[in-house]
Amino acid sequence: MTRLKKTALCERKLINLGFYSFVFLFTQICLAIQAANYGFSLVSIEEREWTADFLLAKPVGRAQILTSKLLAALSGLTITNIVVWISSFGFINLFRGDRTYETKPLLLLLLSIVVFQLFFLTVGLVVSLLVKRIRSVTPYSMALAFGMYVLNAFGGMLGESALEKITPFKHFDPNYIIQHGAYDLPLVLISVSVIVISLVGSYVLYTRRDIPSVV
């Protein structure tokens, strides 16, 4: 009887967080769009509105300007992260009734948001610096976010693991984290590597970038 009770309890845990992992996937898409939008707009907005030369005329180095912009973007992403954390714990505890759930997989899933956001932020930033001029950041951010999601979806359908390895939707798969209670570390390291490379590349490109002038 004790073993049956434990089995029933485990099933209730799986059902509760299993539904949450399904909803969290759509949250990831929204987070990806927001972070990519920040990344594409950090530098391009001044060039698009012809105010970049005014900014660079100030006694501030380009590296310091880019750092300030990144900190501002991180502040916005952190606020979103906090809202997701509060909403997740609040709604799960509000609607779980007499069901219980494991805290560790949920914490791991929520902690993954930071690296997930940084991936799209830094990739969006480096792409914006590689493109001559971005007239609107929305198409770029939507293309990056949904492109990565489609790669994850079709990679799983077609059995192409190479496609899955380049998208953070696979690196931080909610179902994997919930079921195993851990990250897929090799895939997570791919995301971290992309973030570091994109960040270093962004500073190099921005310090050497030709900024268009109004005149």
pLDDT, position 9: 45
Residue with tokens 């994997």: 176
How far is it, in rounded angstroms, from Cα 71 to Cα 163?
31
* Residue 13: per-residue pLDDT: 46
pLDDT (tens, 9 = 90+) of the chain, 215 residues, equals: 454 444 444 444 444 577 778 888 899 999 999 999 999 988 877 767 666 666 666 677 878 888 989 999 999 999 999 999 999 888 888 877 777 777 888 899 999 999 999 999 999 999 988 887 777 888 889 999 999 988 888 776 666 567 777 899 989 988 888 888 889 899 999 999 999 999 999 999 988 877 655 55
Supply the pTM of this predicted model. 0.84
Q: How far apart are CA 195 and CA 18, in angstroms?
A: 29
Helix (H, G, I), strand (E, B) or coil at 133: coil
Residue 114, token pair as written in the block? 């930071």
- Give the separation between CA 24 and CA 88, rounded to whole angstroms: 9
Q: What is the pLDDT of residue 212?
A: 59
Which pLDDT belongs to residue 132?
A: 78
Nearest to 108 by CA among 158, 45, 180: 180
* Residue 1 confidence (pLDDT): 44
pLDDT of 45:
73
pLDDT on residue 10: 47
The whole-angstrom separation of Cα 142 and Cα 115 is 19
Q: Which pLDDT belongs to residue 4? A: 46
